[in-house]
Structure 1
Amino acid sequence: ASSPFLHFEVEDTGRGIAPEEMNNLFQPFVQTTSGIQTKEGTGLGLTISRQFVRLLGGDIYLTSTPRQGSIFSFDIQVNLAAALKVSPRLNKGRVIELAAGQPSYRILVVDDRKENRDLIVQLLSSIGFEIKAANNGQEAIAMWQTWQPHLIWMDMRMPVMNGYDATKEIRARERNTNTNHRTVIIALTASAFEEQQASILAAGCNDLVRKPFREQIIFEKIAEYLQVLYICTEESSEDATDNNLKNIQFSILDLRSAITIMPAQWVTELNQAAVEVDAERIFQLIEQIPPTHSTLAEKLTNLVRSFCFDEIIDVTEENCN
């Protein structure tokens, strides 16, 4: 079947173009009488436009009536895209564990920054995934070879070997191996450029997530590619996120004063745990807050749940000095 065409028209109500000038209009450096009179342009615009349209498999046309205006139209060939697959969204609240009766899923986290690795490792291991971590692309390839993870979270910019080269090597080895197993690789990138997305997918990644990310996005991507089922809290994810953000905004304003009710040693330990991105240790320290100060415990918990470790460092550093 022949490819479909898209048709475009641009119409103006200007001076129009005389019939005797229309044949040469698409020649380089040629201008109409009206164009010469206005002393604007170079006579290259239509020539370049036609070249672009022809590169796209179409052509450009002109109809014009003097003193009434002109209509420029062009057609370009297009390919029909496949219907987008709708990604599953978590309509419930925060994920608390994996649903029973599922396979044991192996997930590899690859990032040269320890705090970034620890963040995802703690998030995923806390609900029941099998997790391993690698510092660079070389380590990731070695772990993939021996451990065969179901999914890899791959940072794209790393020393020794970056995520692009590691992904290409894993895909090459998969092609040379007699197995149906194909690891899902999802890129983690701080880049906001669309061109970067094409390069990431061309390297062999299935998808990408931009930093900074919400924990909900991480869980949704895993569910999309591995069909994982979760057990969640009752509260809707949107309500939970809104409430957390409100609490965080309020927390930063008054947390410095509220935290002074705790011993200096406790504040120092909290600061160190935040520096190490140790969510488990922070929760242990939160349990030591007296019941009479439950608001402080709630605010700190919301900061941890929203990965706001920098904010915890900020509010504790002043009381550590």
Structure 2
Amino acid sequence: MTHTENLVGGTHFPDHIRVLLVDDESINRQVTTTMLKHLGITVEVAENGKEALDLLQQRHYNLVLMDCQMPCMDGYEATREFRRLESRRATAPSLPILALSSFSVAKERQLCLAAGMDDCLTKPVTLRILQEKLMFWLGLGAAAPAQGGRVDQHQDPVKILDAKKLADLKQALAGVPGAFADLVGQFLDKSESQIVEINQALIVGEFALVQRRAHSLKSQSATFGAMTLSDLLKQLELHARSGDLSAATNALKRVQTEFSHVKTALENERLPQPQPLA
């Protein structure tokens, strides 16, 4: 059997490994897909739980990365249904399903495990954490790491972008020329339109739409290291969930201000970096 050597610690993944990635957000899909390919893993994607179920019944996968909150059919329901179908095939080994969650609280992990998922990764997932989790659940000899996706994200609250998370993302995308700059552009364009949509939804009291857009943008902001923006969006999401118009409106104002700083910082990051003199 041949193996592909990835670029994190010299670990080897078998060439036949196939992963199904289920996520409704295009930017998240692109980032995670790039990481998986960086590790030498074949990846296929689905945009919701229903698509995932269809693919899982048609094709063979070694592991599933399952987003939790998606339209049409969320990750919890899709996992429960797949486990029900899987139980009918007594001879087949259980397929590892790892949750991709924007929440790091214990309650969220319990919900994932109760639905039949095997583990929970907090977004944004770093390349190293992803590699270690895959190694463990694919039975390739590594110990399961503690999930540390958000352990140090608040160490320096005055920073607009988390330097380590940004560096991890750049490393994951390093093998694809122009990928980082392209994703930054997509993120900024999509964020601007979503913030406008949130504002319009608040005006007419569509709290469910505000909650969905804030949740989506929160996850994407964290992917690019904009942790303060991500935290502000989490506050907005919670205020929308409780139907508090005044608090949600104030939270949106803070989001708009922070996003302007994030936009400037990310636009600078995607500029060509000066090369050191020889």
What is the TM-score normalised by the length of structure 1? 0.45
State the shift of 1:213 in Å. Answer: 2.5
CA distance 1:177–1:189, shift in 2 (3 Å): same
Taking the aligned partners of 1:186 and 1:157, their CA distance within structure 2 comes to 14
2:76 aligns with 164
Are residues 1:205 and 2:109 paired? no
What letter corresponds to residue 95 of structure 1 in structure 2? V
Aligned residue for 1:95, secondary structure, equals: coil
C-alpha deviation, 1:124, in angstroms: 0.6
| Matched letter for residue 153 of structure 1 | L
2:184 corresponds to: 274
Aligned partner (choices 12, 18, 27) of residue 99 of structure 1: 12
Contact 1:189–1:208, Cα closer than 8 Å, also in 2: yes
Q: Secondary structure at the match of 1:160?
A: coil
Matched, 1:121 2:33: yes
1:241-256 alignment, distance < 5 Å: none
**Separation (CA, whole Å) in 1 of partners of 2:26 and 2:120:** 20
Residue 194 of structure 1 pairs with residue 106 of structure 2: yes
Inter-CA distance 312–214: structure 2 relative to 1 (3 Å threshold) = farther
Does 2:127 match 1:176?
no
- CA offsets 1:65-102 (integer angstroms, 9 cap, x no match): xxxxxxxxxxxxxxxxxxxxxxxxxxxx95177627x3
Asked whether the equivalents of residues 27 and 186 of structure 2 are also in contact (C-alpha less than 8 Å), the reply is yes
The match for 1:290 is none
Aligned to 2:267: 316
Q: CA offset at residue 273 of structure 1?
A: 4.5
Aligned to 1:217: 129
CA distance in 2, matches of 1:273, 1:190: 19
Moved more, 126-135 or 176-185: 176-185
Is the 1:187–1:208 Cα contact (8 Å) retained in structure 2?
yes
| Structure 1 residue identity aligned to 2:78 | A
Mapped partners of 1:313, 1:145: distance in 2: 45
Query: Is the 2:15–2:40 contact (alpha carbons within 8 Å) kept by the matching residues of 1?
Result: no
Counterpart Cα distance in 2 of 1:117 and 1:269: 13
How has the CA–CA distance of structure 1 residues 97 and 312 changed in structure 2, closer, same or farther, with 3 Å as cutoff?
farther
State the 1:125 CA deviation: 1.1
Q: Which has the higher strand share?
A: 1
Structure possessing the higher radius of gyration over alpha carbons: 1
Q: State which drifts further: 164-173 or 191-200.
A: 191-200
> Contact conserved, 1:271 with 1:317, CA < 8 A, in 2?
no
Is residue 155–residue 187 contact of structure 1 (8 Å, CA) maintained in 2?
yes
TM-superposed deviation, 1:308: 3.7
Decide whether the 8 Å contact of 2:20 with 2:65 is kept in 1: yes
Structure 2: state its 5+ residue gaps: 1-5, 143-151, 164-177, 188-221, 227-261, 272-278
Instruction: State the secondary structure of the residue aligned to 1:165.
Output: helix
In the alignment, the residues of structure 1 paired with residue 116 and residue 137 of structure 2 have an alpha-carbon distance, to the nearest angstrom, of 15
Compared with structure 1, are the counterparts of its residues 97 and 128 closer, same or farther at alpha carbon in structure 2 (3 Å cutoff)? farther
In the TM superposition, residue 229 of structure 1 has moved relative to its aligned partner by 7.2
Q: Deviations over 1:208-232 (max 9, x none)?
A: 01122222111111111113379xx
Please tell me whether the aligned partners of residues 270 and 316 of structure 1 are also in contact (alpha carbons under 8 angstroms). no
Shift of 1:159: 0.4
- For 1:47-62, list aligned pairs within 5 A: none
1:192/1:317 Cα in 2 relative to 1: closer, same or farther (>3 Å)?
Answer: same
Specify the SS of the correspondent of 1:213.
Answer: coil
Query: Does residue 1:133 correspond to 2:45, yes or no?
Result: yes
Contact 2:21 2:29 in 1 (8 A): yes
Instruction: Check the 8 A contact 1:274/1:312 in 2, yes or no.
Output: no
Unaligned 5+ residue runs, structure 1? Answer: 1-92, 231-241, 254-267, 278-305
Q: Is the 8 A contact 1:271 1:313 kept in 2?
A: no
What is the aligned counterpart of 2:140 among 220, 225, 228? 228
Q: Which amino acid aligns with 1:275?
A: G
What does residue 50 of structure 1 align with?
none
Match among 13, 24, 40 for residue 112 of structure 1: 24
Deviations 1:227-273 (A, max 9, x none): 3379xxxxxxxxxxx9xx9xxx8x999xxxxxxxxxxxxxx997444
> What is the letter of the counterpart of residue 72 of structure 2?
V
For 1:282, the equivalent position in structure 2 comes to none
Q: How many residues align?
A: 170
Q: CA deviation at 1:198?
A: 1.6
What is the identity, as a one-letter code, of the residue corresponding to 2:184? A
Structure 1 pair 127/136, CA: closer, same or farther in 2 (3 Å)?
same
When residues 124 and 274 of structure 1 are mapped into structure 2, their CA distance, relative to the original with a 3 A threshold, is same
